[in-house]
Amino acid sequence: MRLRELARREAQLLFRESTASAVPLHEICATIGETFDAVKGAIADEIEAEVEANNNVLPELFYDALSMHLPAIFTQPEYFQRVLTRVPTAYLIRMAATSLTSMMLYDEGLQVAQSVPAKGLLRFALSYTAARREAEALSSKLTSGAALESDETLKLARYMTAGGARAILTTAMRDAGQV
């Protein structure tokens, strides 16, 4: 993700959180920073344990998170390999943790990030990333007019039943500038 996009998403989070409470903006801003640092630290600690268990090599499981942090040119295979071999592992861990934290916190807000136990944040963030990709793929297929497979139709029906009303209201409020 680019810096401008991250700044936009953080500002959106700040205003969403301020709309939901009577807490002054500067306090919400501080809470966002503290939460971001705590979540990123917990995720980085868990990634570090995974790296140590993998002979001090960053497992491929984290390559997507790392790619989200890098400029597009460095995600190309020949450059990505250079990043993996030339950038210190400790820095790669922090980059992956930052990407996972940004996606989860900016999309879901403080409540979700604060409600997951520290020891479970990495698995939650990875599951969240996979679910987000699945949602994006289904959305892309729908908007392109491509035919859905029967299992995709069933998934969409389940997802809409589980979170459809909240998603509809939240989207409508965001579109109206109320959140």
Q: At 28, list the tokens.
A: 């919400």
Largest CA distance in the chain: 51
Q: Write the single-letter amino acid at 21.
A: S
Which of residues 89 and 176 earns the better pLDDT score? Answer: 89
pLDDT in tens, 87-143: 999 999 999 999 999 999 998 899 888 899 999 999 999 999 888 888 888 888 888
Where in the chain are the domains?
3-137, 147-179
d(CA 141, CA 138): 5
Q: What are the DSSP calls for 52-80, one per residue?
A: HHTTT---GGGHHHHHHHS-GGGGSHHHH
- pLDDT at residue 56, rounded to an integer: 82
pLDDT > 60? residue 82: yes
Selected residue with higher pLDDT from 24 and 157: 24
The pLDDT assigned to 54 comes to 87
pLDDT > 60? residue 150: yes
- Identify the DSSP state of 116: S
Give the per-residue pLDDT at 61.
83
Q: Please state whether 55 falls in left (phi above 0), alpha (psi between -120 and 50) or beta.
A: left
Of the ranges 124-128, 139-143, 144-148, 174-178, the best mean pLDDT one: 124-128
Provide the pLDDT for residue 160: 80
- The residue assigned the tokens 């992956």 is 96
Q: Is the pLDDT of residue 165 over 80?
A: no
**Distance from C-alpha of 130 to C-alpha of 140, rounded to nearest angstrom:** 15
Question: Do residues 9 and 106 lie in contact, with contact meaning Cβ atoms separated by under 8 Å?
Answer: yes
Q: How far apart are CA 35 and CA 17, in angstroms?
A: 13
Higher pLDDT, 12 or 163: 12
- Give 20-52 pLDDT, tens digit per residue: 788 899 999 999 999 999 999 999 999 999 999
Q: At what angle do helices 121-144 and 25-53 cross, to 10 degrees?
A: 100
pLDDT at res. 179: 57
Structure tokens at 41: 């630290």
